[in-house]
Amino acid sequence: MTDPRLDRIAELLTLKAEGQYGLSTINQRQHALQAAWLAEKAGCPDSLIVASLLHDIGHMVHNLGDNPAEDGVDDRHEALGHAFLAAWFGPDVTEPVRLHVAAKRYLCATESDYFSQLSRDSVLSLSLQGGPMSAEEVAAFDAIPQAADAIQLRRFDEQAKVRELQTPTVDYFLPFVARCIQVNQRDPQQAQQ
């Protein structure tokens, strides 16, 4: 018997991830797989590999199109993704997902060359997401226990935009997901609401 939670995640990553990833030349699935593969190659724990795989799942559970930022809309995909994943995963997976946009804002405020490394779509969305953090926001972000994981995820996110890069498949990463799913969480249907 398969786990319906794994089935739902596999469905999103295979059927809903065909859409273009922002303004880049890859799709959502390729971006997710590249981010997870970078995390695995870096020796990250399963939780950060899964967070990397699922960090943009919020894009797959809304109906705002492939690139709402281009229309001037912040889709708040990090909050949508966090809400979706919180039904099944603990904070070691969900918090880096929730914080990966804040981590971009943080890095733009704390590393002088980070902004110049952003892709065109990341620059566009940054303007909708509040721009670089203020000194007060930086201090508050530093105090969050999962801040370091969110920053690492953000770095994988920026690197995971390589056209035609061969990566492992969705099925390859499902055992990582299975190991991170929490026991006795809410019914999977609730996460879709």
Which residues are 27's β-sheet partners?
A: 20
Least reliable range by pLDDT among 53-62, 63-72, 114-123, 182-191: 182-191
- State yes or no: pLDDT of 161 exceeds 60: yes
Report whether 119 contacts 93 (CB < 8 A).
Answer: no
CATH number of 4-191: 1.10.3210.10
**Per-residue pLDDT, 66:** 54
How far apart, in Å, are the Cα atoms of 180 and each of 4, 102, 175?
Answer: 14, 23, 9
Task: Specify whether the CB–CB gap between 94 and 134 falls below 8 A.
Answer: no
Which position has the token pair 């490394």? 117
Residue the block writes with tokens 């909050």? 79
Decide if pLDDT at 95 tops 80: yes
Average pLDDT along the chain: 84
Q: Are 106 and 94 in contact (CB under 8 A)?
A: no
Q: pTM of the predicted model, to two decimals? A: 0.84
Give the start-to-end residue ranges of the domains of the chain. 4-191
* pLDDT value, residue 136: 97
Of 42, 79, 34, 39, residue with least CA distance to 57: 79
pLDDT reported for residue 188: 42
State which H helix or E strand residue 157 sits in. Answer: helix 147-159
The secondary structure element, H or E, covering residue 173 is helix 170-180
Residue 192 has pLDDT above 70, yes or no: no
Percent of the chain with pLDDT over 90: 53
Residue 27 has pLDDT above 80, yes or no: yes
Per residue in 117-154, pLDDT (tens digit) is 887 778 877 878 889 999 999 999 999 999 999 999 99
